């Protein structure tokens, strides 16, 4: 094995650690939220996508029949408010969603103003993922115990309704991802990296929240297995 690959193999053999970003501990509503609710005419599956920037929320609501942008949103003291206008048979409904995030769940209240008549509903939702949440190029970061930093890039695409992608490592080159999927609100993908005849199998699982990605990977190399944490940032597309 060439000398330049020894640090990588040594790090994987003895385990990897990565500091989870402080933002992961904040009750930030950024991300995709999904829930089902019966308002009296059958259950409706709803999705709310939020992005928080300096306390201002943007995003959209989608229930399958209607998709509308948030007209006003705020995040303050771990609580958020999002307002939007829905059209129901030509009548405008002012909808306000208030919630507080706790880990991967939220609880709150939905208020609907129908021509001055106010309706309120309890609201519970869970974090979810859409293909749009994970498509793009992610710069991953893995820090070794001795201070070395490994920064592979993972690019994920959606083709004909299926997720595919590539893994690009400075140490080993580029390889195709396999088993790229969204399951239980998590992004999962696998890749086998070949280094001088040795196979390094990596199995990633993580959550995407806005432009941030974090999770754990399992690895197997030379008969040794282990786990590690990883974080990542989505690279902005040049227009």
Q: What is the pLDDT, as a whole number, of residue 198?
A: 85
Report pLDDT for 22: 38
**What is the value of pTM for the model shown?**
0.76
Domain count, the chain: 2
Query: Residues 66, 110: one domain?
Result: yes
**Count of Cβ atoms closer than 10 Å to residue 25 Cβ:** 8
What does the pLDDT read at residue 212?
92
Domain that holds residue 153: 3-24+131-234
| 80 and 163 inside one domain | no
**CB burial class (10 A; 0-12, 13-18, 19+) of residue 171?**
middle
Q: State how far the Cα of 216 lies from the Cα of 15, in Å rounded to an integer.
A: 12
What would the pLDDT profile of 34-43 be if each residue is shown by its tens digit? 999 876 677 8
Residues in a beta bridge with 57: 52
Do 138 and 122 sit in the same domain of this protein?
Answer: no
Which tokens sit at 116?
């001055």
Within a domain: 17: yes
Q: CA torsion 158→160→162→166, rounded to 10°?
A: -50
For residues 70 and 14, state if they share a domain. Answer: no
119 lies in the same domain as 162: no
User: Tens place of pLDDT for every residue, the chain, 239 residues?
Assistant: 333 333 333 333 333 333 333 334 457 889 999 999 876 677 889 999 999 999 999 999 998 888 999 999 999 988 999 999 988 778 888 999 999 988 789 999 999 998 889 999 899 999 999 999 999 999 999 765 556 678 999 999 999 889 999 999 987 899 999 999 999 889 999 999 987 788 989 999 999 988 999 999 898 888 888 888 899 999 986 64
Only one residue has tokens 């991300």, namely 31
Q: Tell me the C-alpha to C-alpha distance, in Å, between residue 175 and each of 24, 136, 150.
A: 29, 16, 16
Among 106, 128, 150, the domain-final residue is 128
Do the beta carbons of residue 213 and residue 233 sit within 8 Å?
Answer: yes
CATH number (domain holding residue 153): 2.40.128
- Which tokens hold the place of 97? 């969603």
Domain boundary among 128, 161, 176: 128
Q: Across-strand partners of 163?
A: 158
Residue 111 is predicted with a pLDDT of 94
DSSP string, the chain: --GGGHHHHHHHHH--B-PPPGGGGS----EEEEEEEE-SSSEEEEEEEEEEETTEEEEEEE-SS-EEE-SEEEEETTEEEEEEEEEETTEEEEEEEEEEEETTEEEEEEEEEETTEEEEEEEEEEEE--HHHH-EEEEEEEE-TTS-EE--EEEEEEETTEEEEEEEETTTEEEE-EEEEEETTEEEEEEEEEETTEEEEEEEEEEEETTEEEEEEEEEETTEEEEEEEEEEEPPPP-
**95 and 36 assigned to the same domain:** yes
Judgement on whether residues 138 and 124 belong to the same structural domain of the protein: no
The CATH number given to whatever domain includes residue 113 is: 2.40.128.120
């Amino acid at each position: 094995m060439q000398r330049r690959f020894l640090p990588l193999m040594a790090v994987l053999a003895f385990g990897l650690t990565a500091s989870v970003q402080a933002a992961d501990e904040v009750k930030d509503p950024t991300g995709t939220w999904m829930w089902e609710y019966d308002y009296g005419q059958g259950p409706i599956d709803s999705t709310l996508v939020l992005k928080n920037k300096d306390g201002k929320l943007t995003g959209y609501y989608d229930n399958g029949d209607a998709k509308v942008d948030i007209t006003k949103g705020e995040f303050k003291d771990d609580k958020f408010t999002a307002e939007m206008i829905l059209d129901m048979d030509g009548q405008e409904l002012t909808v306000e969603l208030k919630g507080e995030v706790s880990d991967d769940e939220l609880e709150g209240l939905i208020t609907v103003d129908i021509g001055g008549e106010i309706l309120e509903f309890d609201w519970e939702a869970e974090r979810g993922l859409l293909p749009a949440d994970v498509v793009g190029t992610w710069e991953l970061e893995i820090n070794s115990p001795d201070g070395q930093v490994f920064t592979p890039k993972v690019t994920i695409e959606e083709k004909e309704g299926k997720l595919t992608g590539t893994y690009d490592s400075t140490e080993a080159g580029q390889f195709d991802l396999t088993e790229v999927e969204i399951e239980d609100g998590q992004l999962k993908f696998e890749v086998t990296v070949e280094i001088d005849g040795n196979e390094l199998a990596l199995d990633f699982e993580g959550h995407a929240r806005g432009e941030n990605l974090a999770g754990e990977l399992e690895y197997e190399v030379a008969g040794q297995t282990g786990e590690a944490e990883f974080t990542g940032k989505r690279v902005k597309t040049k227009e």
